[in-house]
Structure 1
Amino acid sequence: MELWLDATGENGGLLHPHPADRVLLVEGDDILDWIESPLFACEDGRILDSSTAPVGVHVDIGDAEGQEAAKSMIGLVSWVVLTTGDWQMIPLENLVASAQGSGTRLIARIDTQQSLRGAAFALETGVDGLLLPAEQPEIWADAQIIAAERLATQSEGDDGILEEGGDIVSFDVQSVEDGGVGDRVCVDLTSILEVGEGFLIGSAANAMVLVHGETLESEFVPPRPFRVNAGAVHAYILMEDGSTKYLSELVAGDSVAVCNSTGIVRSAIIGRMKIESRPFLLIRYIHSESGKNGQIFLQQAETVRLISPLGDMPSVTSVEVGDSLLGFIGTSARHIGQNVLSMAEEH
């Protein structure tokens, strides 16, 4: 994590040396002898390097419009310098989540000692740098300590950070319980599902099971090959872009991931949602190799099916303790549906 000196409000001739990785000046300011990595803030929000090439932007994220403006620059520039308003942590966390893996680095403007740690460890990974005021040695001393803590924390965790894979795994059923009555979501697509396809659903985003579509024939009800009876409103569903949403958040036009037992994923568009009060079964399961466990609330109905490693599609009403179900193991936490490199437990 870099420490930047905010010299935009200073008289350059009176500025004393600081232990800064970079110094942010105003466009047109002279570069003092001790400044090794100067950047220049322009009135229009651009940030230039010493050769006057644009390398970033400054965005005020004091409101939702500012947050969206900052998000729109992620992936387009090297640096986004952020000035927060009354709300600091939530906007920073949202942008940290959006920027991960994009190549864009975030710098948070800091005015108080109390704000340092929150920005440095937002969503555990934190921003990429802190823009600190000049001539405030207490803030600089604390910032250096926190930067060292961040470095130590990231070094310890590097070996445990994995990219999310696409492998389908086998879960062992631990229990099947009465899940009470709640709001169930049926997801109707604008396209037809094949036998063996469904959605990855679960109460935890890192342990989802494959819920089969209503594609099988029955003597009691006709198939609905465009539908997945997906479970309770609180559950996560894997989207086409690899993010997740709660079932309650889905709307017509959303693109969801359709998966089969071999792990092949394609996208499909939601045409309609049906939310109705129905009785649930609660199925708890565990991945024996990793120890990760999860759960899912599914409607107690014979037409709601899962997929086994043998290719069978057992009804939720026939699933028993010890049965195996196909699903997906994720390796990262989620923030507003996006992967973030932090630890989170969901039970």
Structure 2
Amino acid sequence: MRASAAAPAEPKKTVWVWTESRQVMTAAVERGWSTFLFGSKDLGKDWSSTARINALFIDGPGIFDEENQKVAVISQVSSPGELDLVQPDNAEAENIVIDFRGGWQVIRAENIVAAFQGCKGNVLAVSTNTTEAQVFLEALEQGLDGVVLKVDDMDDIIKLKDYFDRRNEAKSQLPLTKATVTKVEVVGMGDRVCVDLCSIMRPGEGLLVCWIVCQRNVSCSF
């Protein structure tokens, strides 16, 4: 088997921070996250005078930078029906922030990610803790483009950075490359394996193992 080309690198995830805690702000800046959301312009200007941050201000459904340029829109979603109304490709800004009111658990994370796959804009979900952030970043093996971490506890900043460090370390230990099969040899019996492809296969796709295709539940063309 001859490697032909390296697999494309995963797009870098975006992290914005929404907080009123100066400790959280300091912890985030120390870990390389410098974009912050503010509901109050006074707080944003105060922090900008003491730290190098990218301050963004929420004004109605829009999010603006310090020069009053719209950089994102924010949509509040509390039901699957409201999620269907969000159209990132028609948004007035490059970024769209989804704020799930009343608990996002009413909508499966996989459905949330699937709803925005392939859209042109960057979609970020508001997360109130590290666990929620990880779910949005991992669902369907791809996750959303990023998260807005809305917290007032610096431990959440530390935990999310540790998560990214572990994730990057795991990827560096097992790089994936495209390869071409140049020769096949019989080497004897192998071990039995179980492959769970429920989250990454679509109707019409199958798995070819030892020239026999087994598919369950959903009919396909094989």
Which category describes the TM-score, using the shorter chain as reference length?
Answer: 0.5 to 0.7
- Describe the shift of the 1:87–1:16 C-alpha distance in structure 2 as closer, same or farther (beyond 3 A): closer
Counterparts in 2 of 1:120 and 1:16: CA distance versus 1, 3 Å? closer
**What is the aligned-residue identity percentage?**
19
Match of 1:50 in 2: 66
CA shift in 2, pair 1:103/1:18, >3 Å: farther
Partner-residue secondary structure (3-state), 1:94? helix
Instruction: Check whether the contact 1:81–1:109 (CA below 8 A) recurs between aligned residues.
Output: yes
Corresponding position: 1:26 with 2:35? no
Larger Rg: 1
Find the counterpart in structure 1 of residue 213 from structure 2. 293
Match of 1:121 in 2: 138
Q: What is the match of residue 61 of structure 1?
A: 77
TM-score under structure 2 length normalisation: 0.61
Match of 2:14 in 1: 2
Partners of 1:5 and 1:132 within 8 A in 2: yes
Q: Paired residue for 2:88?
A: 73
The answer for the alignment partner of 1:41 in structure 2 is 58
Alignment of 1:92-131 (within 5 A): 92-131=109-148
Paired with 2:212 and 2:158, the residues of 1 have a C-alpha distance of: 41
* 1:126-137 alignment runs, 5 A limit: 126-137=143-154
The Cα shift of 1:48 comes to 1.6
Distance 2:168 2:24 in 1: 28
* Higher strand content, 1 or 2: 1
Aligned partners of 1:25 and 1:41 also within 8 Å: yes
Q: RMSD in angstroms over aligned alpha carbons?
A: 3.6
Structure 2 match to 1:145: 162
Secondary structure of the 1:24 match is: strand
| TM-score of the superposed pair, with normalisation by structure 1 | 0.42
Structure 1 pair 154/69, CA: closer, same or farther in 2 (3 Å)? farther
Q: Shift of residue 90 of structure 1?
A: 3.5
Q: Which runs of 5+ in 2 are unaligned?
A: 1-12, 179-201
TM-aligned CA distance change 1:98 to 1:151, over 3 Å: farther
- Contact 1:120 1:147 (C-alpha < 8 Å) held by counterparts: no
